[in-house]
Amino acid sequence: MSHSGESSSSVPYPSMASLKLDHETAETEIREEKDIVIAGGGLAGLALALALQERNIEAYVFEAHPNFISDTATAIGIGPNGVTALEGIKPCLSSMIAQAGTYSTSINFILLRDGKENPPRVTNMPPKEYVNVRWKSVQEIIAGLVNSNRIVFSHKLISYRPRKGGVEAYFRCGEGIDRIKIVSTKLLIGADGIWSAVRKQMVGDSPRYLNLVDWNALLYNPHLKVYHIDFVNICYKLFSLVYDYLNIKFWDFRVYHGIKEGEIVVRSEENMQVHNITAHAGDYTLWILRKKDESGEVANALVGGRGGLGIPGCKARALQQLDGLQGWDSLREAIAVTPEGIISERLVMDRLPLDKWSDVDGHVLLIGDAAHAQYVGPGQGARTAFEDAHQLSLLLQLATHSSFTEESIQYAVKRFEELRIPRLKKMQQYAAYSTRLPAIQPEWVQKLTMEERIKMGEEYMKWVHAYPHKQECDPDSSYFK
């Protein structure tokens, strides 16, 4: 998929009449001037704002919500490429984030056949190279380092229009009264996530559903005693034991399905219908249930078609996916003791690769999930967002040396696309292959042997982790040239 983005006449820019609100007290002529406007206060937008701030470049983050998203019920993994990018954004930033998480020591891959676990395949991780940390903690750390007067809440981007030397960005905002604010800027950065309004206008496409649904939660678990079963469940288990065990005292009995510090456990059915990840992240333990949904039946049952955090019935829907399956008792117990309000359910989606991430002669640019949202399996979403922020800040630093002229902005955006698009196309494709869904995998990938798949994965990690070297490709690899 591609788009031209070369001529503003091809973009459906809105008229002022179409932007007016129905409310009689609405104001539509509030105007501001900013050199750089970042739409979206997620990890990509905040990381870019911090990287620019470190280089004495003024940029403003406009966040749609009245405050930062309280929680996403998930954690992120940060590997060598993410660490390099974070250090490029701000020295010691990766260490600050690592202190809020847990260094990964091993990944245990467990395959279930007929309800029974095969012996785990254990991959030991290099010391202090990979860290798991709550998404919320990362956002709080980065946001805390950005000047508070550079973050503007309750401003939802709805559109943009070209103007001489830049664009006008239109935000719907409200503090007692609804109004539209017009912000003139030399560069509008669309860091507004997978449902990006900037991309919607620029390209017109929508996220792709990958026929997978996730349920996940973060349990506060500082002592690594996960999934504590309550008294009712204890009694049930005790009375189901053989009689010679009934002398166990109730108050002495504890059942935990725990993991060791730094351990990640990945369980999958042989047919990949059900997939589970349990990981340690600081004082929290993450569990994820992933279910194939090739018929679309599970997706159709989600509230609003997308799901969300703490949606009524999400806990029952998660447990329903395990009905009749053997070998999943620990996950059932984890779900059972998790408060419904902290369980997230969502469609697993990605974005198709683009040939161009910019519009209006380089005055509008996509980054992060807005540009290249990918299947979460390989765990590169946050890492590539940090890479984007690092690379773009370096190029915009060069542009400011030329007084941030139109020509210097265009060069920075063009060079950013040259560096990033070839890399992310390969990463998006590999991530899509990792779904193991026949509709997404080309025939040659489906025919790969297990040994070839392992080699492909090893080459992928070697190339990705070499960032910022060989950004566009790895000439020495078989699959990522």
218 token code pair: 């973060």
Nearest C-alpha neighbor of 99 from the set 137, 126, 150: 137
What's the pLDDT score for residue 392? 98
What's the pLDDT score for residue 8? 39
Any idea which residue has 């519009």 for tokens? 359
What's the pLDDT score for residue 229? 41
User: Torsion over CA of 68, 71, 75 and 76, rounded to 10 degrees?
Assistant: -20
Contact 173, 63 (CB under 8 A): no
Distance CA 410, CA 401 (A): 14
Concatenate the DSSP letters of all residues of 118-139 into one string.
PPPEEEEPPTTS-EEEEHHHHH
What's the pLDDT score for residue 402? 82
pTM, two decimal places = 0.89
What's the pLDDT score for residue 305? 76
Per-residue pLDDT of 210-244, as tens digits, reads 999 999 999 888 876 654 444 434 444 444 444 44
Q: Which helix (H) or strand (E) holds 162?
A: strand 155-163
Read off φ and ψ for residue 192, nearest 5 degrees: -100, 30
Per-residue pLDDT of 354-383, as tens digits, reads 999 999 999 999 999 999 999 999 999 999
- Counting as low any pLDDT under 50, the low residues of the chain are 1-10, 21-25, 227-257
Read off φ and ψ for residue 382, nearest 5 degrees: -70, -40
Mean pLDDT of the chain: 87
What's the pLDDT score for residue 23? 40
Distance CA 177, CA 25 (A): 7
Distance CA 174, CA 66 (A): 9
Torsion sign (Cα): 75, 81, 85, 86: positive
Residues paired with residue 109 on neighbouring β-strands, in sequence order: 121, 266
What's the pLDDT score for residue 225? 63
What's the pLDDT score for residue 292? 94
What's the pLDDT score for residue 302? 86
Distance CA 198, CA 25 (A): 27
Read off φ and ψ for residue 70, nearest 5 degrees: -65, -35
